Amino acid sequence: MMTNACGVDFGTSNSTVGWHRPGQAALLPLEDGKTTLPSVVFFNTEEDSVAVGRAGIAEYLEGYEGRLMRSLKSLLGTSLMEGQTEVHGRNLRFSDLLQMYIDALKQRAESQTGYVLQQAVFGRPVFFVDDDARADKLAEDTLAHIARQAGFRDIEFQYEPIAAAFDYESRITREELVLVVDIGGGTSDFTLIRLSPKAALKLDRQDDILANCGVHIGGTDFDRQLSLASAMPLLGLRSKLKSQAEMPSSAYFNLSTWHTINFAYTRKALSSLQSVYSEALEQDKLDRLFALISKRAGHWLAMQVEDAKIALSTRDHAILQLDEIEAGLTQTITRNEFDQAIARQIDSIESTVKQVLAQAGVLSAAVDTVFFTGGASGVPLLRQRIAALLPLAQVVEGDLHGSIGSGLALDAARRFA
């Protein structure tokens, strides 16, 4: 039986929509036959138009004047959600940006199903915001309000790692104690859950969930650390002034963080950099920084760093090609340098895995399977550290970008049957 209930995985980097159809793939094609829609909105000033997903990225890379907004999910639960940004000469609330994207996500899904999708289970991280229950609740409430504005009538939430567990459970033949490791663009979430074909028939799974933990670290944090370690020093980060003080760092941190890149283009930020130019000992590096800012190429640079991060998951080195900033400028990054750049983040993730085991009162030897999902879960150092904690568990890799959406579709079909 077809249903108008769907599962929505609104991700920091990519999003999916799942629609449960027995015997068929759950994930719906959302753009160019692909089931993922990059979580991007591009405001094209020249054409006075708005594009989302790959189309928005393509217009930005083609050189159209405008504003590229990415990692919108990272705004939920923060004070930025109450703020505004200037787009096409008018102020636009950040909540309206999210609304545009969720609207597009729903419309594309409905064009595939032929149904008006009124019921949805949205995925959510274990914590939108670490150590702040009020901000975390506000983040969920904000997303629910945006979803209702988009036309979803009945909305439920499910933890993303639990949704991934449901997807894995649909393929197993025996009971397993599974640690789900979901490393997304903005968060790392973990669920220790008992799965089995028989348990999959139950609607209430609380008794099967032994523990849930999460930390606000994900792939975009790896991007930021790699950018600060490898790209930003070429633009003057940690270079010295005549006073022997270091260059102010705010512009570099803004340019290394997806959802704050546009802040580096403001008049105030540019004026601050210009005021210290004459004092800089390495003005050639600041010339590169000004070139980047004048071209509004911050997102372009972030994409080069992201590509290098992905390459370093399978190779021992990657090369940044930075001709957009300066002709012939390149930077080679080694796997070891990447590991060093993200060491603190991996330490926090490892501590969270230990926490979930302690919360459940389970020894590592009792865990049958580690199920990896999330686009950033392929980072080698991350895999090595988790394997060292759970040496006896089998490792299963799910659909890194699709397991959560598929699991949410299953959950939606059960809840709204």
Q: What is the 3-state secondary structure (H, E, C) of 93-138?
A: EHHHHHHHHHHHHHHHHHHHHCCCCCEEEEEECCCCCCCCHHHHHH
Domain count, the chain: 1
Evaluate whether residue 295 is within a structural domain: no
Evaluate whether residue 250 is within a structural domain: no
Alpha carbons 401 and 10: distance in angstroms, whole number: 11
Tell me which residue has tokens 């590509």: 307
Domain around 37: 5-174+399-415
Structure tokens at 178: 């599974």
* CA end-to-end span of the chain: 9
Evaluate whether residue 56 is within a structural domain: yes
Evaluate whether residue 159 is within a structural domain: yes
Alpha carbons 352 and 203: distance in angstroms, whole number: 28
Give the CATH number of the domain where residue 77 resides. Answer: 3.30.420.40
Residue 91 confidence (pLDDT): 82
Evaluate whether residue 377 is within a structural domain: no
Evaluate whether residue 127 is within a structural domain: yes
Structure tokens at 154: 């009945």
Tell me which residue has tokens 């991700």: 11
Evaluate whether residue 326 is within a structural domain: no
What is the CB-side half-sphere exposure of residue 261 using CA atoms within 13 A? 27
Evaluate whether residue 247 is within a structural domain: no
Alpha carbons 214 and 126: distance in angstroms, whole number: 5
What DSSP element (H or E) covers 276? helix 267-277
Cα 325 to chain centroid distance, Å, stands at: 26
Nearest to 200 by CA among 227, 228, 174: 174
Nearest to 189 by CA among 411, 355, 74, 409: 355
Residue 190 confidence (pLDDT): 97
Segments of the chain scoring below 70 in pLDDT: 1-2
Residue 2 confidence (pLDDT): 58
∠ Cα 216 29 87 (to 5°): 60
